[in-house]
A and B are shown apart, each in its own frame.
Chain A
Amino acid sequence: EAGVTQFPSHSVIEKGQTVTLRCDPISGHDNLYWYRRVMGKEIKFLLHFVKESKQDESGMPNNRFLAERTGGTYSTLKVQPAELEDSGVYFCASRHHTNTGELFFGEGSRLTVL
């Protein structure tokens, strides 16, 4: 069974540009989460999808961040325009609705904004 996959693994962009990160959850997992880790700090929650609906987006920093999950399968997280403080590692995780607790994580997408 394929795990959670994320693309790209690393992206370097200039301030003001746009980046789109993609996450493919484990097949059949209706819960999908986005997290971000800024260097040396804790991993912070961004948002949570249940199927295609946003269950909780309380962690989204501002309106420069847009997450979508059309059709309830893969998800994208777009940052537009990117700022220096957006640099970090963006993690995606998924969970089956019958599994209380364990999230399965991707390897993360490292974003560097210059």
Chain B
Amino acid sequence: AQTVTQSQPEMSVQEAETVTLSCTYDTSENNYYLFWYKQPPSRQMILVIRQEAYKQQNATENRFSVNFQKAAKSFSLKISDSQLGDTAMYFCAFMKLSGTASKLTFGTGTRLQVTL
């Protein structure tokens, strides 16, 4: 079974600064996806960024980038130039590739507060 660990329950960052959220996972699979999802207060969860395990290049989406270390089973999220709208719960998630039988395994989440 896969497990996902987020060791930072809460974090705070000032506007325009950079923050890194940590995530580690455990799996015996070789082919899988990793995700960061964001859930703003009272709103639905949305995908922030996705990484395919077979790709060595770290995924980037505008101000969001990941540091994917496959051997170390680490998948951190870096948010650059933080904005007030980045305030949310951030969940790291894992999905193994197995045809139609696919499901996400989530971590416990990190609550990020962006302050002025």
> Which of A50, A102, A108 contacts B44, CB < 8 Å?
A108
B102-116 residues with Cβ-Cβ distance < 8 A to A are 102-109
Q: Are A42 and B100 in contact (CB under 8 A)?
A: no
Q: Are A105 and B46 in contact (CB under 8 A)?
A: yes
> Which of B4, B97, B101 contacts A100, CB < 8 Å?
B97
The closest CB in chain B to the CB of A91 belongs to B45
A57-99 residues with Cβ-Cβ distance < 8 A to B are 91, 93, 95, 97
A24-69 residues with Cβ-Cβ distance < 8 A to B are 31, 33, 35, 40-45, 48, 50, 55-56
Chain B: how many interface residues by the 8 Å CB criterion?
24
> Which of B44, B45, B46, B103 contacts A45, CB < 8 Å?
B103
Q: Are A45 and B35 in contact (CB under 8 A)?
A: no
Per-position 1/0 for B1-20, Cβ under 8 A of A: 00010000000000000000
- Any B CB within 8 A of the CB of A16: no
Give the docked Cα–Cα distance between A108 and B46 (Å): 12
Give the docked Cα–Cα distance between A97 and B4 (Å): 25
- Chain B residues, CB < 8 A from A103: 47, 104
Q: Are A50 and B50 in contact (CB under 8 A)?
A: no
Contact residues of A with B, CB < 8 Å?
3-4, 31, 33, 35, 40-45, 48, 50, 55-56, 91, 93, 95, 97, 100-103, 105-108
Give me 14 A-to-B residue pairs in the complex whose CB atoms sit less than 8 angstroms apart, sorted by A's number: A44-B106, A55-B100, A56-B101, A91-B45, A93-B104, A97-B100, A100-B33, A100-B97, A102-B47, A103-B47, A103-B104, A106-B44, A107-B44, A108-B44
